Amino acid sequence: MPLPRFDRLPAERQELILAIARSHFAEHGTEAASYNKIIEAAGFSKTAAYHYFDGREDLLSAVLDGVLGRLLGALGPWVAAGDEAEFWSRLDAGASALAAHLQGHPEDLALADAAIGHARGEGGPWLAWFDDLVSDGQRLGVIRADVDHELLVTVTAAVVRAADTWAVARMKESPASTGPRDAEGAQLWRLLRGLWSQTGSFFDDGNADAH
C-alpha cells in the first residue's frame, strides 16, 4: 500500500502518478517495467519516490489494486436471483459489463490477470464475487453441490476471465459484434453449464445447451 504521504497528495496528483505507472506496467509488463523510468515520467526523484512508496512492488501493488477495483466495479455486486432465469440474466449482464470495460480500457485488460492474481487468496475480493455467485447458484439448484465449493469458485472465476479475454479479442477483430450475448456468450454459457451440471460432463456438450 502507498505510504501515508502519498495519500496526502491532491487526488489529481495521485491519479496522475498511478496512471503513468499503469501505462508503463501495461506496456512493458509487470516484471520488465522500469521503476526509475516510471518515477522520472511522474516528475519526481527516486529519493522523493520513497516518500510515497516503499519501492517498485509497492507501486505495482497500488496500480493492480486500482485495476481490480475497476473490474469489480464493472461487474457490480452479485445480487441474489429470484429464480434460474434471473440468475442467468444477472450473470449475462455482469459478463457483458466486464467485457465492455476491458474492451474500452486496454491497460486494464493488459493488467487484469496480474491484478486478479495479486488479489487471489483467502478473502480476496475477486474470488469473493464468484463465491457469492456460486453460493446463489447452488441455492437455486443451478450449480452442482457434489464438488468442493472452493474448487468450483476458483474454476468458475478462471473460466469467466478466460472467456472475457477471448471475447474482447474477437470484438477488436469484429467491432460490429455486440459482445458476450452473441456467439461468444453462448459458448461461455455452454462451458459454465457443463462445469456446473451435476449430471453432465464439463466436456460433454450434450448437457450444455446455450440458454
For residue 27, the domain's CATH number is: 1.10.10.60
Domain co-membership, 8 together with 92:
no
> Domain count of the chain?
2
Domain co-membership, 137 together with 167:
yes
Cβ-contact 201, 144 below 8 angstroms? no
Q: What is the pLDDT along the chain (211 residues), one digit of tens a residue?
A: 788 899 999 999 999 999 999 999 999 999 999 999 999 999 988 888 889 999 999 999 999 999 999 999 999 999 999 999 999 999 889 888 888 898 899 999 889 888 988 876 545 888 899 999 999 999 999 999 999 999 999 899 888 878 777 776 776 666 555 444 456 667 777 888 899 998 755 444 444 444 4
Distance in angstroms (rounded) separating the CA atoms of residues 65 and 116: 9
Domain co-membership, 25 together with 57:
yes
Among 13, 39, 64, which residue terminates a domain? 64
Among 64, 83, 114, which residue terminates a domain? 64
Residue 38 belongs to domain spanning = 4-64
